[in-house]
Chains A and B, each alone.
Chain A
Amino acid sequence: MSETKTEEIKTLPGLGLPELLPYLKPYRKTLIIMVFLGLVASLVDSIMPLFNRYALNHFIGENTLDTLGIFIVLYIVSTVIKVLSDFISLTLAGRTEMSVNRDLRNASFNHLQTLSFSYFNQNSVGYIHARVMSDTGKIGELVAWRMMDIVWNLSYIIAVVIVMFRLNVRLALMFVIIIPIAAVLITYFGRKYMTYNRRIREINSRITGNFNEGITGIRSIKTMAIEDVIETDFRAETENMKRTSVRAMHYGAILSAAVTGIGSFCLALVLWQGGYLTKEMVMEIGTLSVFISYAVGIMDPIEMLTETISGIIAIQVNIERFTKLMKTESDVADRPEVIEKYGDTFAPKKENWEELKGDVEFRDVSFRYPDGKELVLEHFNLNVPHGTNVAIVGETGAGKSTLVNLVCRFYEPTTGTVLIDGRDARERSQLWLHSNIGYVLQTPHLFSGSIRDNLKYGNPDATDEQIMEALKLVNATGVVEKMDKGLDSDVGEGGDQLSVGEKQLLSFARALLADPRILILDEATSSVDTVTEKAIQKAIETVIQGRTSFVIAHRLSTIIDADMILVVKDGKIIEQGRHKDLMKQKGYYYSLYTRQFDEDAVNTANAE
Chain B
Amino acid sequence: MSEMKKKQRFETKGRMLGYFLKGSLKWFVLSVLFTIAVTLMDMINPKIISFTVDSVIGDKPAELPAPVLNLIERIGGTGYLREHLGILAGTVVVLALIRAVFRYLWRVFNARGAETFVETTRNSAFEHLLALPAAWHSEHHTGDIIQRCTSDIETIKVFLSEQLASLFRIIPTLILAFTFMYRIHPGLMAYALIFVPLIVGYSLFFHKKIGSAFRKADEEEGKLSAIAQENLTGVRVVRAFGKEQYERTRFEEKNKTYTALWIHLMRLLASFWCSMDLLSGAQILTITSLGAVYAVHGELTAGNYIAFLTYNTMMIWPVRMLGRIIANLSKAGVAIDRLREIMNAEPEKDVENALKPDLTGDIVFDHVSYSFGDETAHVLNDISFTVKAGSTVGILGATGSGKSTLMYLLDRIYPLPEKDGTITIGGVDIQKMNASYLRDHIGIVLQEPYLFSRSLEDNIRIANRSAGRTEVRDAAGIAVLDEAIEHFEDGYDTFVGERGVTLSGGQKQRTAIAQMLIRKPPIMIFDDSLSAVDAETDAKIRAALAEKTGNSTVFLIAHRITTLMNADEIIVLDRGRLAEQGTHEELLAHNGIYRRIYDLQMAGREVEE
Question: How many residues on the A side are at the interface (Cβ–Cβ under 8 A)?
Answer: 155
Residue of B262, B398, B453, B593 most packed against chain A (CB within 10 A):
B398
Chain A residue at smallest Cβ distance from B505: A396
Complex contact A223–B411 (CB within 8 A): yes
B85 within 8 A of A: yes
Q: Can you pick out 30 interface pairs between chain A and chain B where the beta carbons lie within 8 Å of each other?
A: A83-B278, A86-B273, A90-B266, A95-B263, A101-B259, A102-B258, A106-B255, A113-B247, A129-B228, A217-B499, A218-B130, A222-B130, A223-B442, A223-B443, A225-B463, A229-B465, A252-B111, A253-B106, A258-B100, A275-B85, A395-B504, A434-B241, A439-B237, A457-B237, A460-B246, A493-B230, A494-B226, A593-B604, A597-B601, A602-B397
Alpha-carbon distance between A227 and B227 when the two chains are bound, in angstroms = 38
Q: Cβ of A114 and Cβ of B278 under 8 Å apart?
A: no
- Neighbour of B398 across the interface among A208, A219, A606, CB < 8 A: A606
Binds B, one of A162-170, A262-270, A316-324: A262-270
A360 cross-chain contacts in B, Cβ below 8 A: none
Q: Mark A487-500, 1 if CB is under 8 A from B, else 0.
A: 00000011000000
**B91: shortest Cβ distance to chain A, in Å?**
8
Is A10 part of the contact surface with B, judged by Cβ < 8 Å? Answer: no
Given contacts A94-B270, A249-B107, contact A129 B225 (CB under 8 A): yes
Partner of A221, one of B130, B150, B224, B233: B130
- A555 contacts partner chain B, Cβ-Cβ < 8 Å: no
Stretch at the interface among A14-22, A233-241, A385-393, A414-422: A233-241
A72 touches B398 (CB 8 A): no
With A59-B292, A228-B1, A268-B88 already in contact, 17 other A-B pairs whose C-beta atoms are closer than 8 Å: A82-B281, A90-B273, A113-B231, A117-B235, A133-B228, A215-B146, A217-B450, A222-B411, A223-B444, A289-B53, A292-B49, A397-B505, A457-B237, A597-B604, A602-B397, A603-B399, A604-B600
Residue A435, interface by CB 8 Å: yes
Q: What per-residue 1/0 map shows which CB atoms of B105-147 lie under 8 Å from chain A?
A: 1111011101110110011001101111010010000100110
Q: For the complex, is A605 an interface residue (Cβ under 8 Å from B)? A: yes
CB contacts (< 8 Å) of B69 on chain A: these are none
8 A Cβ contacts from B551-605 to A: 559-561, 574-575, 593, 596-597, 600-601, 604-605
By Cβ-Cβ distance, the 3 closest A-B pairs, closest first, are A94-B266, A264-B96, A249-B111
Select A264's contact among B99, B256, B452, B600, beta carbons within 8 Å: B99
Contacting residue for A246 out of B112, B149, B243, CB 8 A: B112
Interface segment among B60-68, B175-183, B302-310: the answer is B302-310
Q: Give A84 to B439 CA distance when docked, in angstroms.
A: 70
A177 CA to B235 CA in the complex, in Å? 59
Q: Contact flags (1/0) for B8-45 with A, using CB distance below 8 Å? A: 00000000000000000000000000000000000001
Q: Tell me, in angstroms, the Cα distance from A218 to B446 when the chains sit together.
A: 13
B456 to chain A, nearest CB (A): 16
Measured between alpha carbons, how far is A213 from B462 in the docked complex, in Å? Answer: 14
A52 vs B295: C-alpha distance in the bound complex, in angstroms? 13
Chain B residue nearest in CB terms to A123: B232
The 8 Å CB contact of A249, one of B108, B302, B310, is: B108
Which of A441-449, A472-480, A538-546 lies on the face that meets chain B?
Answer: A441-449
- B233 to chain A: which residues have CB within 8 Å? 125, 445, 494
Interface string of A41-75 (1 = CB under 8 A from B): 00000000001100110011101110010011001
**Residue B534 CB within 8 A of the other chain:** yes
Residue numbers in B under 8 Å from A99 (CB-CB): 259, 263
Q: Contacts A75-B285, A214-B129, A448-B230 known; A234 to B604 CB distance under 8 Å? A: no
Nearest chain A CB to B86 CB, angstrom units: 6
Given contacts A101-B259, A217-B450, contact A252 B107 (CB under 8 A): yes
Q: Which residues does chain A contribute within 8 Å of B190, judged by CB atoms?
A: none
Q: Are A114 and B248 in contact (CB under 8 A)?
A: no
Given known pairs A234-B126, A594-B604, the reply for A213 and B452 (CB within 8 Å) is: yes
B115, A242: Cβ atoms closer than 8 Å: yes
Q: Are B259 and A272 in contact (CB under 8 A)?
A: no
Q: Confirm or deny: B251 has a beta carbon within 8 angstroms of a beta carbon on chain A.
A: yes
* 0/1 string, B281-295, CB within 8 A of A gives 1: 110010011011101
Tell me, rounded to whole Å, the shortest Cβ–Cβ distance linking B292 to chain A: 4
- Contact A229–B413 (Cβ < 8 Å): no
Q: Which residues of B contact A260 (CB under 8 A)?
A: 96, 99-100, 103
User: What distance in Å separates the Cβ of B566 from its nearest Cβ neighbour in chain A?
Assistant: 16
Known contacts A238-B119, A260-B96; decide if A408 and B453 are in contact (CB<8 Å): no
Contacting pair A82 B277 (CB below 8 A) = yes
Contact status A215-B251, CB under 8 Å: no
Whether A437 lies near B107 (C-beta < 8 A) is no
Q: A212-B146, A275-B52 are in contact. Are A603 and B398 (CB under 8 A)?
A: yes
Complex Cα–Cα for A397 and B506 (A) = 11
**Cβ-defined contact, B103 with A94, below 8 A:** no
Q: What are the residues of chain A within 8 A of B70 when measuring CB–CB? A: none
Q: With A52-B309, A211-B145, A245-B111 given, is the CB distance from A397 to B504 under 8 Å?
A: yes
**A213 partner, pick from B226, B263, B453, beta carbons under 8 A:** B453
A256: interface (CB < 8 Å): yes
Check if A8 is an interface residue, CB within 8 A of chain B. no
Whether the Cβ atoms of A98 and B88 lie closer than 8 Å is no
Residues B413 and A222 in contact, CB atoms below 8 Å apart: yes
Tell which of A212, A254, A395 touches B142, judged by Cβ atoms closer than 8 Å: A212
A32 CA / B235 CA spacing, docked (Å): 41
Residue in B296, B450, B560, B561 whose CB lies within 8 Å of A595: B560
Minimum CB–CB distance from A423 to chain B (whole Å) comes to: 19
Collect the chain B residues with CB atoms within 8 Å of residue A256's CB: 103-104, 107
Chain B residues with CB under 8 A of A110? 248
Bound Cα distance from A594 to B602, whole angstroms? 9
Q: A105 at interface (Cβ–Cβ under 8 A)?
A: yes
Minimum Cβ distance to chain A for residue B336 (Å): 18
Chain B residue at smallest Cβ distance from A603 = B398
CB-based contact A257/B245 at 8 Å: no
A441 to B234, CA, bound (A): 9
Q: Closest Cβ of chain B: how far from A442's Cβ, in Å?
A: 10
B244 and A228 form a contact (CB under 8 A): no
B126 and A267: CB pair below 8 A? no
A271 interface residue (CB < 8 Å to B) = yes
Given contacts A102-B259, A217-B450, A257-B100, contact A602 B597 (CB under 8 A): yes
- B266 near A246 (CB under 8 angstroms)? no
Return the CB mask of A166-182 against B: 1 if under 8 Å, else 0: 00000000000000000
> Distance in Å from the Cβ of B9 to the closest Cβ of chain A?
21
Contact of B2 among A125, A228, A593, A598 (CB under 8 A): A228
Query: How far does the Cβ of A127 sit from chain B's closest Cβ, in whole Å?
Result: 10
Assess whether A36 is interfacial by the CB under 8 Å rule: no
